[in-house]
Amino acid sequence: MRMTFRWFGPDDPVPLEHIGQIPGVGGIVSSLHDVPPGEAWTRDGLERINGMIRGAGLRWDVVESIPVHEDVKLGRPERERWADAWCRSLELVGAMGIPVVCYNFMPVFDWTRTELAMPMPDGSTALAYDDEALRRIDLSNGTGDLPGWAAAYDAEALGALLEGYRSVDNERLWDNLAWFLERVVPVAESAGVRLAIHPDDPPWPIFGLPRIITDGAALERVCRLVDSPMNGVTFCTGSLGADPANDLPAMVRRLPGRIHFAHCRNVRVTGERAFHEAPHPSRFGSVDMRAVLGALREIGFDGPMRPDHGRMIWGERGRPGYGLFDRALGATYLQGIWEGLGGAD
């Protein structure tokens, strides 16, 4: 297992030299955040970010992510162009020696929360989600009322996208994912890059949009769509753990050789489709982290892992969920479990 840490590039308030001071963290998870979704990446762009990472004594272990254009998810004729661009980016990633690409197939909205700074009893703040609160969010003016949403869709653009998805049900979205994988997996094989689809977060439909990567059966289905060892998953304990019906250790055991990346964070389920993110140790959340990591060791997982989101603690300011302090605690906690399980690598 290789412990890694998310870094958002030169504008990230967490500097690379501080990440390098976290014991056991040698890998970075990053992306080219200045490239519009769907557009092909450039060698110069990759070399610039890779040079900064290597200059800090770290290595770029995971690209998270190369965004998939909405035309691909919608199955529109223009998808050919966007898939070709995605493949060109993938080839460059392989040439750079980065072994894993994490991506998602969530329509319109990436990970979604209804509160970015829920006050916790200990004075920290955490990301939170509540389905009732989501239903009260008004999208008539675009995405401006959705907390933390990074893509600035105006009302017209968002309305057109939502209208386009009215004819896309779960099975059609699966068909469009299969089409995409049939085109990109052979390129991943040639480039030597493992693809790791991220589960939907939260793992249920939002705003009437289909969401299909929500449970163990879905993760297994992804792997069957194109049966290649390069076609795998990101196992995210926070996304999948938000649904109490998901048995995370059992899901891990059914995916040997196909978990290419692990996101390990805890959530506390507080009601029907409601949760907030919690400290990493199991007693604070609804995820038995030791059981999950034990299952990962059983199947021989040896890929990158990151502590994923964290609370904002000790007065830290910055990108909600991506402060330095709590994620650093998470990285050391996860390594402690791994070492206790007999995997002190």
Catalytic residue among 87, 102, 223, 236: 236
Catalytic residue among 61, 71, 243, 308: 308
Catalytic residue among 103, 129, 153, 322: 322
Average pLDDT of the segment spanning 213-237:
98
At residue 345, does pLDDT exceed 60?
no
254 found inside a domain: yes
45 found inside a domain: yes
**Is 223 labeled as catalytic in the residue annotation?**
no
For residue 129, the surrounding DSSP H or E stretch is strand 125-130
Catalytic residue among 69, 263, 276, 280: 263
**Is 69 labeled as catalytic in the residue annotation?**
no
Tens digits of residue pLDDT in 308-318 = 999 999 999 99
Tens digits of residue pLDDT in 91-104 = 999 999 999 999 99
**Is 322 labeled as catalytic in the residue annotation?**
yes
| Cβ neighbours, 10 Å, residue 279 | 22
At residue 149, does pLDDT exceed 70?
no
Tens digits of residue pLDDT in 151-173 = 667 788 888 999 999 999 999 99
Catalytic residue among 61, 69, 153, 198: 198
**Is 18 labeled as catalytic in the residue annotation?**
no
Pull the structure tokens for residue 5.
């840490």
d(CA 13, CA 33): 14
What pLDDT score was predicted for residue 152?
Answer: 64
At residue 234, does pLDDT exceed 90?
yes
What domain count does the chain have?
Answer: 1
What pLDDT score was predicted for residue 211?
Answer: 95
User: For the domain that residue 97 is a member of, what is the CATH number?
Assistant: 3.20.20.150
Residue 128, phi-psi category: left (phi > 0), alpha (psi -120 to 50), beta (remainder)? beta
Paired with 195 in beta bridges are: 101, 231
Tens digits of residue pLDDT in 39-94 = 999 999 999 999 999 999 999 999 998 999 999 999 999 999 999 999 999 999 99
345 found inside a domain: no
**Is 260 labeled as catalytic in the residue annotation?**
no
d(CA 30, CA 255): 25
Q: What percent of the chain has pLDDT over 70?
A: 98
- Are 26 and 59 in contact by the 8 Å Cβ rule? The answer is yes
Which of 37, 25, 26 has its CA nearest to residue 65?
A: 37
What pLDDT score was predicted for residue 72?
Answer: 97
d(CA 234, CA 9): 21
Catalytic residue among 71, 200, 309, 333: 309
**Is 129 labeled as catalytic in the residue annotation?**
no
Paired with 130 in beta bridges are: 274
177 found inside a domain: yes
d(CA 183, CA 179): 7
In terms of residue numbers, what domain contains 203?
2-340
